[in-house]
Amino acid sequence: MRHNLTITVFLLATLLVIKPTGAFSQYKLEKVEEFKINSLYNVEIVDYYPEDELYLGYISTSKGTQIALIDAKGEFVSYEMLTGEGPNRSVSAINSMAFAEDGDIWLQTAAQILLCDRDFVIKKRIRYPSSLKMNIFGRMEVFPYYYHKGSTSSLSFVTNPSGTNSYIFNKDIGNDLIEVYELGIDKLIEMAPVADRPMIKKFDQSMHSHLYSLVYTVDRNDQKLYLTTSVDNEITVYDLSTHKLASRIKIVHDEFKAVQKAAITEKDLPSYGRISLGAKNHKIFLLDDGLVAVDFIREIPYGTYEKKIAEDPTYHHFQDPAYHRLILFDGNKQLSKELSLPPNAKLMTTLPGNRLLMQLVNTEVEEDFIQYGIYKVVGEAPD
């Protein structure tokens, strides 16, 4: 009895703990701060500028999407609708955004990048070539740009956004997954060959599109690209100065039935009609000191999904924080097993000090504000 009580108290006192198993160490997420944004519309935060403690995000309104700057207290600094016709607008959808090095704002469409000031006045438009003209709607990703070491003018960026599937846009796509445009030399560079992915040996023809479902992030400081795909058991790390494979990091999921099989077909990915119920790698985030986090979505049982959509026809487990898990890595190996996210928490971005920004969704009550929590990753790496 005393032993059971001790375990109960331990679980209540320490949030989201993973016990060490083999080479995996103990990590947890500790809530260190919270704030709210007064808004009737949903506000998604994409990037953070630590020098001025500013968040960059977007507001989904009934009239369209507004780009927004928000301070550390959750107050709007500025916001603007930038898509549409007009001198200070983009006729194309905005796919991604990020703070520039000096605190201005980069926006990326399928054909050009826009540099804005903090009042969202467009200062510069730069067209760029791309073999895939993708427009993504309903969300925005982080603009994946970097500069070559020792230069503040040699801007380079990935043309195909993370979270997209290149295969469905072009069935005749070549053998490389990533396309980089180097502005200084006006050149498109292809990298990350499909052949680098061991999963290609397991997939039959029906699964090849999953090789092009890209999940990646760019480390601007070290000029590295961390890449996986939605159905994968490995992160490949590329040197962006040479565009060559630098290392591989194995992903050990607690449960990802498809990637554990010797041969994989579409039948191994559960579905409900056209709705996928399967597990997938969702996003990659970079923290401090080489710490890497993969946001992984677990599979939902068929019967559970049926019950969920009977209660809410718009339900999808990809959007349900209860099915999201966090897996931690350093530059060489996996450090943790899967960590559950806090209840009703949706991971937005990372902050300095190994902190994570989470949107806290109240599914029971419709509120006139958006709640955010900041959680610190605490733990020890294995010896």
Work out the pLDDT band at 19, boundaries 50, 70, 90. very low
What domain range includes position 113? 41-143
DSSP 346: E
Span 237-245, mean pLDDT?
Answer: 96
Give yes or no for residue 166 having a pLDDT over 70.
yes
Answer whether residue 51 is part of any domain.
yes
217 domain residue, yes or no = no
For residues 190 and 170, what is the distance between their CA atoms, to the nearest angstrom?
15
pLDDT of residue 26: 85
Q: Is 3 helix (H, G, I), strand (E, B) or coil?
A: helix
What's the average model confidence in pLDDT over 40-49? 96
pLDDT in tens, 331-355: 889 999 999 999 999 999 999 999 9
Cβ(46)–Cβ(57) under 8 Å?
A: yes
Cβ contact 178:166 at 8 Å: no
Q: Is residue 58 included in any domain, yes or no? A: yes
Q: How confident is the model at residue 20 (pLDDT cuts 50, 70, 90)?
A: very low
Tens digits of residue pLDDT in 291-331: 999 999 999 999 999 999 999 999 999 999 999 999 999 98
Hey, what are 201's tokens? 């040996």
Range 117-134 average pLDDT: 93
**What is the model's pLDDT at position 13?**
35
Q: Is residue 202 part of a domain?
A: no
The answer on pLDDT for 2 being more than 70 is no
The rounded distance, in Å, linking the Cα atoms of 166 and 131 is 10
Q: Which of 8-22, 78-92, 199-213, 309-323 has the lowest mean pLDDT?
A: 8-22
DSSP β-bridge partners for residue 35: 372
Q: For 53, list phi and psi in degrees, rounded to 5.
A: 50, 55
Segment 253-271, tens digit of pLDDT? 999 989 999 999 999 999 9
Does residue 233 sit within a domain? no
Strands laid side by side in the 224-229 sheet: 214-219, 224-229, 234-239, 244-250
Residue 311 structure tokens: 């209660």
Q: Give me the DSSP letters along 89-138.
A: -BSSPP-EEEE-TTS-EEEE-SSEEEEE-TT--EEEEEE---S------S
Counted domains in the chain: 1
CA distance 133 to 135: 7
How confident is residue 151, by pLDDT bands cut at 50, 70 and 90?
Answer: confident
Q: What is the mean pLDDT of residues 199-211?
A: 90
Answer yes or no: are the C-beta atoms of 177 and 166 closer than 8 Å.
yes
pTM for the full predicted model: 0.91
Helix-strand-coil split of the chain, %, nearest 5: 15, 45, 40
Determine, yes or no, domain membership for 109. Answer: yes
If you ran DSSP here, which 8-state letter would residue 176 be given? E
Task: Check residue 6 and give its pLDDT.
Answer: 38
Q: How confident is the model at residue 112 (pLDDT cuts 50, 70, 90)?
A: very high
Query: What is the number of other CB atoms lying within 10 angstroms of the CB of residue 30?
Result: 13
